[in-house]
Structure 1
Amino acid sequence: MKIVKLKEPYDKNAIVDSPIVLALGFFDGVHRGHQEVIKRAIEKGKSLGVKVAVMTFDRHPKIIFQNIDGEKFKYLTMLDEKLKHFKNLGVDIAYVVKFDENLAYLSPQDFIDKYVVGLHAICVVAGQDYTYGKHDIANMDTISDFAKGRFEIITVDHLQRNDQKISSTQIRKDLDSGNVEAANLLLGYQYENHGTVEHGFKRGRKIGFPTLNVSIPKNERILGEGVYAVKVKIDKDNLWYEGMASIGHNETFGDDLEKTVEINLFNFDKSVYGEKVIVKWYKFLREMVKFDSVEELIDQLNKDKRDTEVFFGDLKKN
């Protein structure tokens, strides 16, 4: 997949000089609804015999329009991971446009002229709630007014699950509440975090449950506090390990402690400090609890481990 980065005003020489079918969207999470938009674009591209491109932005438009601190915005998928999803779905070209004031305040007509027609799109595919300016005037109902017959328009209806729209907003709510299984159903895959193993306080090692203390990038969304069944891949050996993870403040060991992501991997005794890891979140096991003693904590951790092993055992049978 060819990746082309653009900044308004862009260099026309950077544009791939061939007709394309263009899928439009921010695609945070690349969930099942987003996947449907891209699949429809790929089907159309095959029928027309042209390449398929996706256009997305380097940051969420809300950061500009709602004056949000970009350092604090939490994404379901960081840009690099989003691009991997596009590639795996079969996209030929990914246009990544810098979303700044120059782009944000283009008129709807200028946006269509430059970022649809200017990219040589002969067909545009987008979800029914896609906008390219003010919601009331720059939406999929009015896009034909700006297209002026220069390209075909395919609007993809919202995918539903249990009479509920599949959306990035709902997935964020599910993750924040710990309902990762519901989020995974909407995503169409296990939610992931990407981080680095750092030195911790080594409390887990002292009680027989050594943990990886994983630092997650500040812009990557993590789940609500709790204990979860997970799988972890370590770049060093490229293998997946089953385990259980806790997200919380470790109240048993004191008050006002920093929130951490700590993972106990089963059948694992390697030193991996400084290594990059991927964490796949499978199931919420329980809420975080402040125990009256370390012995109570150990009893609960043994139960958590049994529950996790049963979960993955059942998963393998299905």
Structure 2
Amino acid sequence: MKCFYSFDTVSIDSPTAVTIGMFDGLHLGHLKVIQGCLTAAKEANLKTCVITFSNHPADHFTGKRNELLMPMQEKIAALEGLGIDYVIIIPFDAYIVELPAKLFIQEHLVHRLKAQKVILGYDNHFGKNREGSISYIKEHFSAELEAISIDVAKVDEVIVSSSQIKKYLSEGEVQKAKAMLGHYFAISGLVVHGNQNGRKIGFPTANMSLNEDNKFIPQLGVYLCEVHIKEGTYFGLTNMGYRPTLNKDEGIHIETHILGFDGDIYGQGIEIRFMEKIRSEKRFDSFEELKNQIAADLTWAKLYLA
């Protein structure tokens, strides 16, 4: 797979089937669109091309950096694994917002990408004033492009979307988020040194520093997780919160007690996949109460996994 980071650098010699979107999280709805692109390309012996954005469109309109379900490097790796040939990664900025749909199609889709087919989700719009759509392409470019619309994806009659997945995660409903993602929601980072409080009470933890500072995280609390480290895959208890028992305001901490593992993994990469929320974070009056609660959490986890 080849990546381009601006339209100006694109060098594609073969005709393509193109899809466009943020694709944050690559959930089941996105995968339906991507599969539609792959199928359309195979039928006509075309290469596949995904246009996506280096920043969330909401960043441009709100002036804030929005949290993402999936960092760009993970998205690129996932698209490659799906068999996409080309990925165009561009900023969602004033140029994209103000570019008329007609010019976007003529200059970028037809001229630069040699598009013959455009595959879009049912609600996808592009170009100035959101003028571009499947119906717009059919009306104005039917001679140059075949426009294919992909129907909505639903889980339990709820439309699959990145915003709905974020809502579920913000409520601690990680199983509902998984149903829409097609896999456990995960965060990744490096194991860093903590204050050793977990070890002092008999439950050593791996403290995580996230790889991305705008990564979306679930509702704070204690979760049963699947832990992926260089040494292998384990289950673990992950606490995300402010550690109120320590009476310190140090921001959010992410720490994981890995079941059946007590090795030195400082500086190593770690991925946490959220399986189930056990409880909300709470303040304990003593370390003894905290220790007893962690023991109870472990008992819950072992029964869940049995």
TM-score range, shorter chain: over 0.9
Percent identity, aligned pairs only, is 32
How far residue 135 of structure 1 moved from its aligned partner, in angstroms, is 5.5
Q: TM-score, normalised by structure 2?
A: 0.94
- Indicate the residue corresponding to 1:201 in structure 2: 195
- Indicate the residue corresponding to 1:316 in structure 2: none
Q: Structure 1 311/134 Cα, relative in aligned 2: closer, same or farther at 3 Å?
A: farther
Q: Distance in 2 between matches of 1:284 and 1:80?
A: 27
CA contact (8 A) 1:112 1:146 kept: no
After the TM superposition, list the runs of 4 or more consecutive aligned residues in structure 1 that deviate by more than 4 angstroms: none
CA contact (8 A) 1:230 1:280 kept: yes
User: CA-to-partner distance for each residue in 1:161-185, whole Å, 9 max, x for gaps?
Assistant: 2221100010011111111111010
Q: Distance in 2 between matches of 1:104 and 1:294?
A: 54
**Partner SS state of residue 168, structure 2:** helix
Q: Distance in 2 between matches of 1:114 and 1:270?
A: 55
Q: Distance in 2 between matches of 1:143 and 1:68?
A: 31
Equivalent runs, 1:43-122 vs 2, <5 Å: 43-64=39-60, 66-70=61-65, 73-118=66-111, 119-122=113-116
CA contact (8 A) 2:97 2:128 kept: no
Q: Is residue 163 from structure 1 mapped to residue 162 from structure 2 by the alignment?
A: no
**Partner SS state of residue 214, structure 1:** strand
Task: Give the root-mean-square deviation of aligned CA atoms.
Answer: 1.6
Q: TM-score, normalised by structure 1?
A: 0.91
Unaligned 5+ residue runs, structure 2? none
Q: Distance in 1 between matches of 2:50 and 2:164?
A: 23
How far residue 149 of structure 1 moved from its aligned partner, in angstroms, is 2.4
Q: Distance in 2 between matches of 1:85 and 1:79?
A: 10
CA contact (8 A) 1:198 1:274 kept: yes
User: CA-to-partner distance for each residue in 1:218-250, whole Å, 9 max, x for gaps?
Assistant: 11111111110111222x43x212101011111
How far residue 285 of structure 1 moved from its aligned partner, in angstroms, is 0.8
Aligned pair count reads 304
**Partner SS state of residue 141, structure 1:** helix
Q: Is residue 221 from structure 1 mapped to residue 216 from structure 2 by the alignment?
A: yes
Return the letter of the residue paired with 1:143. Answer: I
Return the letter of the residue paired with 1:162. Answer: D
CA contact (8 A) 2:100 2:131 kept: no
User: CA-to-partner distance for each residue in 1:117-171, whole Å, 9 max, x for gaps?
Assistant: 1211111111011111355533333232342421101111111122211000100
How far residue 293 of structure 1 moved from its aligned partner, in angstroms, is 2.1
- Indicate the residue corresponding to 1:253 in structure 2: 246
